[in-house]
Each structure stands twice: as C-alpha cells, then as structure tokens.
Chains A and B, each alone.
Chain A
Amino acid sequence: MALGTGCTARPGNSRNNKTGSWRVFRPAFINERCTSCGMCRIVCPEGCIGENEEGLPVPDYDYCKGCGLCAEECPSEAIEMKKEEK
C-alpha cells in the first residue's frame, strides 16, 4: 500500500501521490499578457509553478489542485481558470 502500518510514510511521499487529479478548474497561462512578475509562483500553495528561460510560468499539472489563487492574484489577468476536461 501507499502507506505503511499505522498510516505511516517516509518523507518525500508527496512525490508519489500526484494530487493533480483533484482539479476541477485548470489554470491556463496566457503568455502574451504575462509580465513575468512571478506573483503566481509566490502565491501557489503547492509550489508547483516554475519558470522557463524566458521567465514565463510553467505549471506542474501533476500537483496543481486548481485552487485558482494564481488566477485571482495575477495583476495582468494572464491566467484563466478553465473547466477541466477529462
């Protein structure tokens, strides 16, 4: 099982448990409007937004739960929450 006797786990266990499947809304990043301010990376509670060489945000959808904080806080309105299609 994913957890041991007594519901135990070793550190780093969240790498194995991908939480992206919880998502209902997916943040779509609109690079044309992005100013690379980095706000989305700072506010992401999962720490799952990285950046590429051009400084543009790169989300890790394996862990993004779709909370929408990044879209709410983005000063350039460069992130839109779209219904997840599965």
Chain B
Amino acid sequence: MLEITEGSLAVADAVGKCRPQVIAAYPITPQTHIVEALADMVANCTIDAEYITVESEFSALSACLGASAAGSRVYSATTSQGLALMFEVCFNCAGMRLPVVMTIANRALGAPLSIWNDQQDSISLRDSGWLQFYAEDNQEATDLHYLAYRVSEDHNILLPSFVCFDGFILSHTYEPVDILTQEEADRYLPRFTPFQRLDAEDPISFGLFAAPDYYMEFRYEIDQAAKKALSVFPKAGREFAELFGRDYSGLVESYRMEDADCALVAMGSLCGTVKDAIDELRDAGNKVGLLKIRTFRPFPADEVKKALSGVSRVAVLDKNISLGSKGAVALEVRDALYGSQIPVHDYIIGLGGRDVRKKDIARVVSLAGEGKGDLYYGLREEVLK
C-alpha cells in the first residue's frame, strides 16, 4: 500500500517486518528517527524484539555481534562518527561471518564536524567485509532491507550488510513508499536459520586466533563469500520482483544508456537528480546516460565494464574522497575498465551536504567533454590560490 511517509519511518517499518530478535543502537543524527521508531515498536509490543540501549556505537554493534552469534536476527543503524566508532567490531562481524544488517544514513565525517550528507562513512569501511548496498530513493532504501537479510543470511554468504541511504536527503524526506504487509514480508523473508550459534549444550568459540599459517586463508574465504553475493543478490532481487513487482536484480542499473556518448556513474540519491538532468540534456541533443551502482561491495566490475563498453567517456560522481588518492568509485570504475581506451574522469562532488543540482550535472558533462576531470567540483576559488 502506498503511504506518504518519512524515509526513516519507512525504513523502520521494513526493519520491524523483517522480525529482528535483537536491536541495539545508539542515536546519532541523521539516523535517529529510525531507532526511535523501532524503540516505539518494541515498547508498544508491535514487534517481538529485545531492544538493548547502549552507551556507544561500539557497544551497539558489539551487542549485535554477540546476539547474532547466539543465533538471533539482529539490527542496528548508525552513521558517520558512530560508524567510525564501530570500526573494530565491523571487521569482527565479517570475520566471524555474522549476518548483521545495519542501516547507514550516510553523513560526512569530522573534522570539520558536519551533520550533512556525503558517503565518506560507509565508503571508509569498504575493506571491512560488509556488503554495501546504496539506495536511490526511499522505496529502494526500504526494500533493500529485505534483500539485505536474504543475502547476508544465505549460508553461502554469511556476511553482514550495510543498507546505505543518504542522510537528510532521503532519511528526512517524505515521499510515497509502497509499504509491505507483515504477511507479504514473511512470504519473502523466512525466519532466520543460523549456520552455527553459541549454545551452552553444544559449545563453540567464535573469532579465534589464527596464526600466520591460517590467517590468510580466512581472509580469502571472506573475500570469496563476498564475491558470491554477485550472484546471490540478483537472485534475491528477482524473487522480490516476482512477488512485489519492483526489480532490484541488477547490481548496476542503466538509465538512457542506449547510444550514450558520455556515461555518468553515481550511487545513492544523486541518481535521481542525475536522471532528471539527463532528460534535459537528452532533450537538448546530448547523448548522456547514467550507470547507477547499487552494490558497491561486492563491486560488480564485470557489469560495469559491460554497461560502459560502448561509451566515449565516463564521468564518475564521487561523494567521498580517498584522501591522497581519488574518489573510491572512480578508482573501481577505472579498474573495471583497465585495458580499454575509455577515459574515466573523476569528480568529487557534494561533500558535507553541498547541494548537487541539475545544472551541476550538466556542467560535469561538459567538463568531461572537454577532457577536464579528476577535480573537486565547484570549489571556492579562494582555496585554489
């Protein structure tokens, strides 16, 4: 049923319908509305979950780790500095192969302190073993939670997932969202069947010490599991589409890419603006298309290569910067296109909540046409002196 609702509330509703047994979270802007809404549901007994209030994000994810190891479906949500505080536990969740699902309401990292949106927080955990899915709008943000549990809990994967949606731009925006009923959600997402769990009757230890003769093999296994998500995610997407009509089976999604000369590459809510800009550019005779990256981890290099094979140039919009190097998405796209002659231009854009408007997209397209790339878009002139 279509409801006009806030992004955070739509996400909280979906999470509740995923029937998490344990929720542990610490409020932080702009994630707060999600965990407030879930706390309400627990207090009002509309969902049957244990809500653990904690004193920090480190504890929040630690509680989730323990609860997941004990065999519960668990949930948390955070952003920015909160995610930074979870850094160590993130690596442990992945290494212990625990299918935790966490929403990231993407926000810039300090310093300077900023509560506004970019994607630096989740991008900075790209090497942690967590799968990362990026939502364009609140419908996708909501639905991706059902997919995330399906993919994470698959016994061939057993890795935690971030569902990333842009803070404020999506989390605090009211738009129509098709809300699943509990029966529909149950039809798609079965009860959690742990691969193994902590059990006093049948003891097992998680996350043990691996000496140099075994450590590398564990890293290899995590990497292999993450790469298996390249086939498990599309399958989960197809099954979702069969039930509800919305298709997330693509690891990437093309918009007006047929005969495109210049391809823009973006992740998250930026894609909506880019699509509108492309419509106007197309009307003006510019052959421009968008390649939207839905799964950043695992990175769908083959799909990216295939989708971009016919274009003359690529312009990547990065809402992050790997300081001292390039934008993280551009690095991946360049790697995917290695050996081809297609130039990949990188544009660092919209950091710390700076608006990206349709005219900015049009400007990026013309910069790419002039061969001017690998720059911070729209910088104040005083810093360039």
Contacts and interface: CB of A to CB of B under 8 A. Distances in A.
Contact of A6 (B95, B203, B214, B217): B95
A7 B210 contact: yes
B245 interface: no
Interface string B190-228: 000001100000011111101000100110010000000
Given A1-B217, A11-B203, A6 B158 contact: yes
Contacts of A3: 208, 210, 214, 218
Nearest to B97: A6
B102 interface: no
Interface string B82-110: 00000000000001111000000000000
Query: Which range contains the number of A residues in contact with the other chain?
Result: 10 to 19
Nearest to A11: B203
A6 B206 CA distance: 6
Q: Is the interface of B mostly helix, strand, loop or mixed?
A: loop
Query: Which range contains the number of B residues in contact with the other chain?
Result: 10 to 19
Given A8-B204, A8-B206, A2 B158 contact: no
Given A10-B203, A10-B204, A11-B203, A5 B214 contact: no
B383 to A, nearest CB: 46
B98 A6 contact: yes
Contacts of B218: 3, 7
Contact of A7 (B158, B195, B206): B206
A2 B95 contact: no
Contacts of B96: 6-8
A42 interface: no
Interface in A1-42: 1-11, 13
A5 B97 contact: yes
Contacts of B207: 6-8
A1 B221 CA distance: 11
A22 to B, nearest CB: 9
B208 A9 contact: yes
Contacts of A4: 196
Contacts of B208: 3, 7-9, 13
Contact of B205 (A1, A2, A9): A9
B288 to A, nearest CB: 45
B221 A5 contact: yes
Contacts of B196: 4-6, 8
Interface of B: 95-98, 158, 195-196, 203-208, 210, 214, 217-218, 221
Q: Which 6 A-B pairs have the closest CB atoms?
A: A6-B97, A6-B96, A7-B208, A7-B207, A11-B203, A8-B204
19 contacts: A2-B214, A3-B210, A3-B214, A4-B196, A5-B97, A5-B196, A6-B95, A6-B97, A6-B98, A7-B96, A7-B207, A8-B96, A9-B204, A9-B208, A10-B205, A11-B204, A11-B205, A13-B205, A13-B208
Given A1-B214, A3-B214, A6-B195, 10 more contacts: A6-B95, A6-B96, A6-B158, A7-B95, A7-B96, A7-B206, A7-B208, A8-B196, A8-B205, A9-B205
